[in-house]
Chain A
Amino acid sequence: METGISLPEDLSAQIDDILLELRRKAEAECVLLADISGQLVSAQGRLEDIDPVTVAALAAGDVAAMSELVRQIGEPNPHGSFLHEGENKSIYLFSVAGSFLLIVIFGADTPIGLMRLFVRRAAERLYPLTAEFEEVMGQPQDVPLGDFSATLADELDRVFGGL
């Protein structure tokens, strides 16, 4: 992914809606969407017990490693889904068009079969949005960052000064 990308508010709202619906239908604790580089795009649901940014970074690493592993054994479509079943909490990672991943965290009471079905349906609804997202990313954008750069430099000096 190149630098200089932004997620417009309307696209962001549509993605949030899909994640919220998935969370409700799948009876999940929370649902996250990240890009393959580990950047968190959206997080919905109960987030008090987790750090969504760290979860997104680790999930992206996990999916990238697993995809490479699968490619090594000659599987033509390395982008799939990965499930870790825990005693109390489980996590399901689903690759969306090879560029994004859905992360679903759910408890022991959630029926896994149904959850997989709802995740697949949500991913189908996300495909066109993520494609639009990627198209937006590829275009030059007029991002009004204003004096962000200068102010950031001052803030970094203040926060990290003397450390």
Chain B
Amino acid sequence: MFINWKLREINLKIVYYGPALSGKTTNLQYIHAKTNPNIRGELVSLKTRGDRTLYFDFLQLELGQIAGLKPRFNLYTVPGQSYYVGSRRLVLQGADGIVFVADSQRERFQANVEAVKDMAENLRSLGLNPESMPLVLQCNKQDLPNAVQPSVLQRRLGMTKVTCFPSVAIKGTGVFDTLKAIINLVVAQAQKKL
């Protein structure tokens, strides 16, 4: 969290993390499509020709003054493909909170596990404690027939204490609930620290 008292702005960096093709970019695309253009910036995507995230997607949201401060949320995604580990670490730098977008399909279970492990390692390498990082779990693709229950995913990923939302990001189900939850969590944690 970065507060500029001169401009009375409060900035939060939220990173959408998860395995390849779990729906991180889809979350940002839905948020971009549905929010009033007055409160959001351009959706910037650094992607390959095949529409896969190469580096990150970026979207800023800015609300009006709240208790004398103007909140600004900077949303990032990381590239999910395993060989972009370096890029994921760079994007995590300075993160205030993380949304872990899990792919609920049974056959993607191992990819979720590896992404959780990769996230913890990257946080530690940046000197951040994965245990104290505000985190929300989003179990995406719940509409697919091979999707496992969010409670099962939560347990198997070791996230039983983490706030969890079932989602179908492509239809917008759970997208804004997840966003609100991570923002509230980051702000609550920061206030507790101060």
Contacts and interface: CB of A to CB of B under 8 A. Distances in A.
B87 to A, nearest CB: 7
Contact of A151 (B67, B172, B190): B67
Contact of B94 (A6, A38, A142): A38
Given A3-B96, A152-B183, A163 B172 contact: yes
Contacts of B81: none
Given A7-B4, A149-B184, A37 B72 contact: no
Nearest to A148: B67
B74 A146 contact: no
B194 interface: yes
Given A38-B13, A64-B93, A151-B67, A54 B3 contact: no
A51 B35 CA distance: 18
Contacts of A2: 128
Contacts of A157: 180
A58 B5 contact: no
User: Is the interface on chain B under 10, 10 to 19, 20 to 34, or 35 or more residues?
Assistant: 35 or more
Interface string A38-52: 111100000000010
Contact of A3 (B67, B184, B190): B190
Interface in B1-32: 1-7, 10-11, 13
B interface: dominant SS: mixed
Contact of A148 (B69, B76, B179): B69
Interface string B163-194: 00000000010011001100110111111011
B13 A35 contact: no
Interface residues of A, number: 46
A159 B71 CA distance: 13
Contacts of A38: 13, 74, 76, 94
Contacts of A37: 13, 93-95
A163 B34 contact: yes
A84 to B, nearest CB: 15
A149 B1 CA distance: 13
Given A37-B13, A68-B90, A152 B6 contact: no
B4 to A, nearest CB: 5
B67 A146 contact: yes
A41 to B, nearest CB: 7
B152 interface: no
A22 to B, nearest CB: 18
B56 A61 contact: yes
A3 B189 contact: yes
A4 B5 CA distance: 13
Given A3-B96, A4-B1, A145 B67 contact: yes
B51 interface: no
Contact of B66 (A58, A65, A142, A152): A152
Interface string A92-115: 000000000000000000000000
Contacts of A12: 4-7
Interface of B: 1-7, 10-11, 13, 34-36, 39, 41-42, 44, 46, 55-56, 58, 60, 63-64, 66-69, 71-72, 74, 76, 86-87, 90-91, 93-96, 128, 172, 175-176, 179-180, 183-184, 186-191, 193-194
